[in-house]
Amino acid sequence: MPSMTAANFIDSLRDAFRDAFGGGMGESVQEALNPEPVNLFGLEVNPSLIAAFFGTIVILLACVVIRLFVIPRFRNQPKGLQLLLEGIVGYFDKTASATHRHASFVGPYIAAASIFICITTLAELVGIRPAFASINTCLAFGLSTFFVINFCGLREKGLWGRAKRYLNNPINIITDLAVPLSLSFRLFGAIMSGFIIMELVYSVLFLSFVVPAIVSVVTTLFHALIQSFLFATLSTLFIGEAIE
């Protein structure tokens, strides 16, 4: 009788463990990797597109508000919001300072891309699937940066100068073509891994009350800020290499 009770207890623990860490987690990972399409204006789209629209709208509204209500109140001695905004602009201008004579839009492009990455990743905190949990969004950003890199390279060295880079060392063809893939897959892997981790945390019943409230905020903030910084840094490095 005691042995039967122990066996039943072990079986119940095994079933509970399987439910907590097996089927629940497997389903969460499957849903994270292959989400159900959502209806957007009559079209079935990836739910990550919602975050992309959300981030675009937030950025555009913020630009309008800042231009109409904040910039007219700027003073010679900045403080508060003005100090923050000037610090952000100054950071991205300094980051892209080497490219200004080739393309003045590089600094604003890197700033907009970084802010977009940050906002669309933070959208996870309000229950929206991150935009970069879709490989399509990541590829779009990788290709955009690839275009900026080659545009700056062509303006600095001309068509023949860029061609000599590949004629002198054909391996550069592979390394340059790998840039958009590297940027895209790194961004996708980082954002998706964080998203899956949170889905796994939520899938465990006994962790679904207090832990996600802490872990989700910390993990999402970390991913949003660090991925924005890394994308800006890598983009600047690749552009700087193209104009050397």
Q: What is the pLDDT of residues 123-142, one digit of tens each?
A: 888 878 889 988 889 999 99
49 has pLDDT over 80: yes
Gap between the Cα atoms of 220 and 122, Å rounded: 6
Paired with 43 in beta bridges are 40
Q: What is the pLDDT confidence band of residue 207, given thresholds at 50, 70 and 90?
A: low
**Which of 15-29, 131-145, 223-237 is predicted least confidently?**
15-29
Ordered alpha helix ranges (H), the chain:
2-18, 24-33, 48-65, 81-95, 106-122, 135-168, 171-203, 211-242
Residue 58: its pLDDT value, please? 93
Could you read off the pLDDT of 140-189 as tens digits, one per residue? 999 999 998 888 888 878 888 888 888 888 888 888 888 999 999 889 88
Residue 6: its pLDDT value, please? 43
Residue 151: its pLDDT value, please? 87
Residue 30: its pLDDT value, please? 62
* Distance of alpha carbon 103 from the chain centroid: 24
209 has pLDDT over 80: no
Backbone angles phi and psi of 44, in degrees to 5: -85, 110
**Number of residues assigned to the chain:** 244
- State which H helix or E strand residue 45 sits in: strand 43-45
